[in-house]
Chains A and B, each alone.
Chain A
């Protein structure tokens, strides 16, 4: 179930000189279970701004057990991010839907793993939660974070990360890459430039895995993710060890594929509905236009909230960032990215 709850803002903190804002929510006792999250998952916020409903997904930037907090980077011209940075006050109520997402690290007490984290910019938010989850709840495992930023003053959670290094010198390493490092800064990063395939190779060679159950977690802009995953492929890293989420998702390219008009059977918990899909309309839009309620959030193929099982027919997905290869093979689709390719479709939302 994907429902919104009104949560009170308990704390607001400006990060990196106002370039980002951390919002901590108060969770009433009866919602604590409903809002339990795994490190890396995100919540969806709903605002009405300029008379329009706006939904955005933000990663929970704290590990499970800590207060529910998101950290939102200010986008220039970004309607919601600027609203959060400028207009919110402690005590305000915001509509929040419970955490979801498959980019999630579930620590296991008896696991003995080596985790490599590659992040850039605000892509640190899920990784920050994951690193802490590993350090506290997977005591035999090691975490290596390679973190890319433009310059030293845009590094989110810098102090907190340094503290983690001090607390866990044997289990946590932190390396910074700066793409526009100032010559005059006293801060000397591990590397100049972006976190790219070269950086990945260098990092792994420098700190090769001791525990041999190795996992790779990547969170940055789409281009970085693609570069890193192909870099890891070149090193023969098996795909099932690579976990990825893209941040600041660029608008999915219009790849020219057209959707046809179709009629679709939509299976929901409460029964079966027959709807019509307009030519060129994505399935999520068609479902909503027909007055049905299904979960969704980012509408850009990133969050995975709108997934369904394609039981019959064929669709074209513009992007499927939020799905793993296995999901796709199993017939999962992101309805917000899907265009009908056959005149009849059957979608199942019940799992």
Chain B
């Protein structure tokens, strides 16, 4: 009998076997974030992304429409393209120079007559198509060519994600970062959606919002969350916002949904951020952050910063200070909520291997955690059934 962590066995957070099954049944069978729409600005630009066990690349055709293909040469399987780039008309495999057009058709094979004296039917050797779409300014791919549309996948949760139109905002490149957390991806998700911890772990970093009045829930496997500004912040909100508004008045608050699997958004009156999780191993997860701000002049930014400086000067600080601080680098003394979260996730993961681990009862503000565990189980069950037992 395996030890349980609410609805999931503890092994779900620690073992290669669970990791592999999730890769196959969740990350290879769902829509996967692949970047921001502006990452592919013009025809010929491409990028590739790992979606579970699949590597998929997206390329923009001359009609400005995106095509997605599995990044696998039809000859001997070599990955065709690397990360990001731009091509004119064709994609050539580095190994034997088989060349494909942007529709995925195999258009040339070197020394075709001598190497394939029996002939080669190039029309059967096109790249395998996948699905791609743009939604709320983000690129998404799905390994299947006729995947259910993003409306079916995200439609129900979309109205709860806030009035933001990310396509109209501008990326703030300095905020772009990627880092690794030594914890299972579900630990990181659970931290993201844990309403209970907001007033505690972040007692001194996120209190401009009123966690007691948070509204949250689920639409299928997707979590939605909204909370209003706390009274002290709301009093002179327009003045207190650190940068110009990205949504029209009178909308206020913070929207912090977690879309399945592992695509977090954190959006407020003045910014829109994404928090993308990629499981790297049973106990290692990569996080990618990108931020978009208002499409406003430098002057408007400085003006807003200056207006709000009074509020922020006296706001917040580290959770621990004085004697509680463990050295110069203590994340709990950083005054940075991300550092606090990373610390909490890694500290929790460390205990999962202990035979003395025993998980206590879930609090009301932790109901999203147990619900996410269900979502993971349900999604895997459904996919396993759809694939038929044989393929699993």
Does residue B103 face the partner (Cβ distance < 8 Å to A)?
yes
A65 in the interface, Cβ–Cβ < 8 Å? no
A213 to B152, CA, bound (A): 14
Interface magnitude class on chain A: 10 to 19
- B151 with A212: CB separation less than 8 A: no
Cα–Cα distance between A235 and B61 once the two chains are bound (Å): 7
Which listed residue (A110, A237, A238) contacts B152, Cβ 8 A? A110
Q: Which residues of B contact A232 (CB under 8 A)?
A: 63
Q: How far is the CA of A160 from the CA of B271 in the complex (A)?
A: 38
Interface assignment of B102: CB less than 8 Å from any CB of chain A: yes
User: Any chain B CB within 8 A of the CB of A55?
Assistant: no
With an 8 A cutoff between CB atoms, is A298 at the interface? no
Query: What residues of B have a CB within 8 angstroms of the CB of A238 in the complex?
Result: 103
Q: Contacts A210-B167, A211-B133, A212-B133 given: A110-B64 contact, CB under 8 Å? A: no
Residues of B within 8 A of A236 (CB): 61-63, 101-103
When C-beta atoms are compared, the residue in chain A nearest to B62 turns out to be A235
**B25 an interface residue at 8 Å Cβ cutoff?**
no
Determine whether the beta carbon of B63 is less than 8 Å from that of A212.
no
Give every chain B residue within 8 A of A140 (Cβ-Cβ): 151, 155
Cβ-neighbour of A204 out of B64, B102, B133, B150 (below 8 A):
B64
Q: Does B134 contact A (CB under 8 A)?
A: yes
A208 contacts chain B at the CB level, 8 A cutoff: yes
Complex Cα gap A150–B283 (Å): 67
Query: Please, which residues of chain B bring their CB within 8 A of the CB of A234?
Result: 62
* Bound: A112/B37 CA distance, A: 16
A111 on the interface (CB 8 Å rule)?
A: yes
Q: Which of A48-66 contact B (CB under 8 A)?
A: none
A237 touching B63, Cβ below 8 Å: yes
- From B63, B101, B152, name the one whose CB has the most chain A CB atoms within 10 angstroms: B63
Closest-CB distance, B327 to chain A (whole angstroms): 49
Q: What residues of A have a CB within 8 angstroms of the CB of B63 in the complex?
A: 204, 214, 232, 235-237
Size range of the interface on B? 10 to 19
Task: Tell me the nearest residue of chain B to A109, going by C-beta.
Answer: B151
Is residue B66 within 8 Å, beta carbon to beta carbon, of the partner chain? Answer: yes
Interface presence of B149 (CB below 8 A) = yes
Residues B65 and A214 in contact, CB atoms below 8 Å apart = yes
A205 interfacial by beta-carbon distance below 8 Å: yes
Q: Does B161 sit within 8 A of A, measured CB to CB?
A: no
Say how far B154's CB is from chain A's closest CB, in angstroms.
10
A110 in contact with B151 given A209-B65, A212-B132, A214-B65 (CB within 8 Å): yes
Q: What chain B residues lie within 8 Å of A214 (beta carbons)?
A: 63, 65
B-facing mask of A216-248, CB < 8 A → 1, else 0? 000000000000000010111110000000000
Give the nearest-CB partner of A141 in chain B.
B151
CA distance A204 to B62 in the complex (A): 10
Please name all residues of chain A whose beta carbon is closer than 8 Å to the beta carbon of B150 when the two chains form the complex. Answer: 112
- Cα(A47)–Cα(B101), bound, Å: 53
What residues on A are CB-neighbors of B155 within 8 Å?
110, 140
Inter-subunit contact B62/A212 (CB<8 Å)? no
A:233-282 near B, CB below 8 Å: 234-238
On chain A, the residues within 8 Å of B149 by CB distance are: 110-112, 213
Complex Cα spacing A118 to B62, Å: 18
Tell me the complex Cα distance, A237–B62, Å.
Answer: 8
Task: Determine if A112 and B133 form an interchain contact, defined as CB atoms under 8 angstroms apart.
Answer: yes
Expressed in whole angstroms, the minimum distance between the Cβ of A10 and any Cβ of chain B is: 37
Chain A: which residue is nearest B102 at the CB level? A236
Q: Closest approach, in angstroms, between the C-beta of A108 and any C-beta of chain B?
A: 9
For residue B140, which residue of chain A has the nearest CB?
A212
Closest to A138 in B: B151
Q: List the A side residues contacting B134 at CB < 8 Å.
A: 210-212
Do the beta carbons of A112 and B151 come within 8 Å of each other?
yes
Q: Which residue of B lies closest to A214 (CB)?
A: B65
The smallest beta-carbon distance between B151 and chain A, in angstroms, is 5
B61 close to A208 (CB less than 8 A): no
Q: Please give, as numbers and ranges, the residues of chain B lying within 8 Å of A111 by CB-CB distance.
A: 149, 151
Interface centre among B37, B133, B167 (most CB of A within 10 A): B133
The residue on A at minimum CB distance from B41 is A208
Nearest B residue to A113 via CB reads: B149
A235–B44 CA distance with the chains assembled, in angstroms:
12
Residue numbers in A under 8 Å from B37 (CB-CB): 210
Closest B residue by C-beta to A210: B134
In the docked arrangement, what's the CA distance between A210 and B36, Å?
12
Nearest CB in chain A: distance from B60 CB, A: 9
Residues of A within 8 A of B103 (CB): 236, 238
Query: In the complex, A205 Cα to B63 Cα: how many Å?
Result: 8
Return A250 CB to nearest CB of chain B, in Å: 28
CA gap between A292 and B62 in the complex, in Å = 50
Residue A209 contacts which of B62, B64, B102, B167 (CB distance < 8 angstroms)?
Answer: B64
Q: How far apart are the CA atoms of A209 and B64 in the complex, in Å?
A: 7
A212 near B167: Cβ-Cβ < 8 Å: no
Task: Note all chain B residues with C-beta closer than 8 A to A213.
Answer: 133, 149
A212–B65 alpha-carbon span in the complex (Å): 6
> Which residues of chain B are near A209, meaning CB under 8 Å?
64-65
- Provide the bound-state CA to CA distance between A205 and B60, in Å: 12
Cross-chain contact B151 with A208 (CB below 8 angstroms): no
Cα(A211)–Cα(B167), bound, Å? 13
B102 contact set on A, CB distance < 8 A = 236
Taken together as a complex, chains A and B put the C-alpha atoms of A273 and B95 apart, in Å, by: 63
- B15-30 contact mask (Cβ, 8 Å, vs A): 1 or 0: 0000000000000000
Which B residues, 17 to 63, have Cβ-Cβ distances below 8 Å to chain A? 37, 61-63
Q: Which of A188-223 contact B (CB under 8 A)?
A: 204-205, 208-214
Instruction: Tell me the minimal C-beta distance from B86 to chain A in angstroms.
Output: 16
Interchain nearest-CB distance for B328 vs A (Å): 48
Q: From residue 161 to 207 of chain A, which have CB atoms closer than 8 A to chain B?
A: 204-205
B52-106 at interface with A (beta carbon < 8 Å): 61-66, 101-103
- Chain A contacts for B167, CB-based, 8 A: 210
**CB within 8 Å of A: which B245-273 residues:** none
Distance of B158 from chain A, by nearest CB (Å): 9
Residues of A at the B interface (CB closer than 8 Å) are: 110-112, 140, 204-205, 208-214, 232, 234-238
Ordered by A's residue number, 9 sampled pairs between the chains whose C-beta atoms are within 8 Å are: A110-B151, A110-B155, A112-B133, A112-B149, A112-B150, A204-B63, A212-B133, A235-B63, A237-B65
The 7 closest A-B pairs by CB, nearest first: A208-B64, A235-B63, A235-B62, A212-B133, A112-B151, A140-B151, A237-B63
Other CB < 8 Å A-B pairs besides A110-B155, A209-B65, A236-B101, 12 of them?
Answer: A111-B149, A112-B133, A112-B151, A204-B64, A208-B64, A210-B37, A210-B134, A211-B134, A212-B65, A212-B132, A236-B63, A237-B65
